[in-house]
Amino acid sequence: MKHRNIAQYFVLLMAVLLTLSCASESDNPAMSYKDLEKGTVTAYSDGMASALAGVESYYYVYTPAGYDSLRTEPYPLLVLLNGYNESGDYFYKSCSVTALADEMIAAGDIEPMVLLLPNGKNNLGGTFYTNSTHLKVEDSYDHLQDLIDYTQSYYNVSTEFGEMGIGGFCMGGFGAVKTALETGDYGSVSSVAGPLSLVRLLDQSAIDRICEVVGYQPAIGEITDSVETRFRYSFSNYYYSRVTSDSDSLFAKMILAMSAAFSPTERASGNYVVTNTTLTNLVVSIDSETGLPVYDRNSPVFIDLPFGADGQIDNATFSRWLENDPHTLLSGSLFQNLANASLFLSHGDSDEFIQPEITESFVSGPVVDSSLPDGYLQVSGSEPDYYDIYSAIAGYTADHSSLNYEELRKILLFHDSVFRDN
């Protein structure tokens, strides 16, 4: 019943906002943003993120206007995780989430809340918020938990299940759902275009797409040593030698970053070798004074790709990926951690990077109730939550990132609806 109340409140609020947005200027006079009382954004140097990315990196904390560190009732906490190839300032600078929060709080659309904006980027584009024996993303999941713990200890924020939310775009959506599954700490969880089903993400068409981008023709017949060498050579240095932002190339690079997180190896016989004298490096020691890693910039990084020289899934390697797969975790003992939460999922109907079918695959398993109204999903044992397949609006297509600002507004409304219900 709790989830259904949240869904009804959220849909009603969205309808009211849509009505207001259609009103004339005289009916709905807008206050200029410069006249609003604004919250505070504090940037904190993040030593681990800086070491991983190779540049000075920060995480951010937003406190609302009038924030009171001694307030009897702690503020709700919303953690927003950046996507692949983005950094910790994505929500703050690119999406203007703090300005959006100021406006929505001033309008009474949402209650005051604290936002934590961690940095999930490394020199491969992203850590996927996953611990890994690969030294470039090692303890990334634990580091995220440390930032959350620090925020809860330093700021007047709640530690209650119903007043803690986590969400993100793309890799951040993956990290949000995976973190919620593994911890059970969050009463509200949101993911926009997150790769929530690795089985669906890495189907045969995706492998073919990656090989084509890299310029590798999968072998037919016996896999000889020379074939394996060609396979490794085709992928070596690809991440750095092909600097481009088209969706196919970014997808291939994302698979390499996911391999570093999910299937690293210290073996020189690994399927794939990334090596670059300036950008790729291994930790060889820890500086005793600063506590930061010291890198050997001439050392290669080894990872196992989840497919082999024949262009087919390598089951042994892919099984390691499935240990981190939200869709797989959903069907295991961690399921109840998400079933107890309210869940918001969305994707654009023209997403060229994370195809809508990937989100739909997560939605369709393990249980779908076809009797539910359109726009809702049911995770086994829970009441329906919000599922948004959004379409193009004037001047913008519903691709991977064009409408993220609009989705961010929905995310803030969604989490606020859960916070209000507690």
Q: pLDDT tens digits, residue range 291-302?
A: 554 544 445 567
Nearest to 130 by CA among 297, 14, 263, 221: 263
The pLDDT of residue 252: 86
Summarize the confidence of residues 43-60 as an average pLDDT.
68
Q: Mark which of 296, 322, 348 sits at the end of a domain.
A: 322
Question: Measured between alpha carbons, how far is 347 from 340 in angstroms, rounded to an integer?
Answer: 23
> What pLDDT digit, counting tens, does each position of 27-49 carry?
333 456 677 889 999 988 776 55
Could you list the residue range(s) of the whole structural domain that residue 77 is in?
2-197+325-420
Residue 132 contacts residue 41 (beta carbons within 8 Å): no
Question: Measured between alpha carbons, how far is 16 from 343 in angstroms, rounded to an integer?
Answer: 21
When comparing pLDDT for 401 and 296, which is higher? 401
Domain count, the chain: 2
The pLDDT of residue 77: 97
Give this prediction's pTM.
0.82
Could you tell me the CA-to-CA distances from 272 to 138, 157, 230, 265 in Å, in that order?
Answer: 19, 44, 10, 10
336 and 395, same structural domain?
Answer: yes
Which of 17-21, 71-75, 132-136 is least confident? Answer: 17-21
Question: Measured between alpha carbons, how far is 202 from 169 in angstroms, rounded to an integer?
Answer: 19
Question: Measured between alpha carbons, how far is 190 from 83 in angstroms, rounded to an integer?
Answer: 13
Strand partners, 303: 264, 272
165 and 28, same structural domain?
Answer: yes
301 and 219, same structural domain?
Answer: yes
Question: Measured between alpha carbons, how far is 194 from 248 in angstroms, rounded to an integer?
Answer: 17
The pLDDT of residue 295: 46
Percent with pLDDT over 90 in the chain: 30
110 and 73, same structural domain?
Answer: yes
Per-residue confidence band for 284, with pLDDT thresholds at 50, 70 and 90: very low
179 and 259, same structural domain?
Answer: no
Per-residue confidence band for 372, with pLDDT thresholds at 50, 70 and 90: very low
When comparing pLDDT for 73 and 291, which is higher? 73
pLDDT surpasses 90 at 139: no
399: helix, coil or strand?
A: coil
41: helix, coil or strand?
A: strand
415 and 356, same structural domain?
Answer: yes
The pLDDT of residue 31: 54
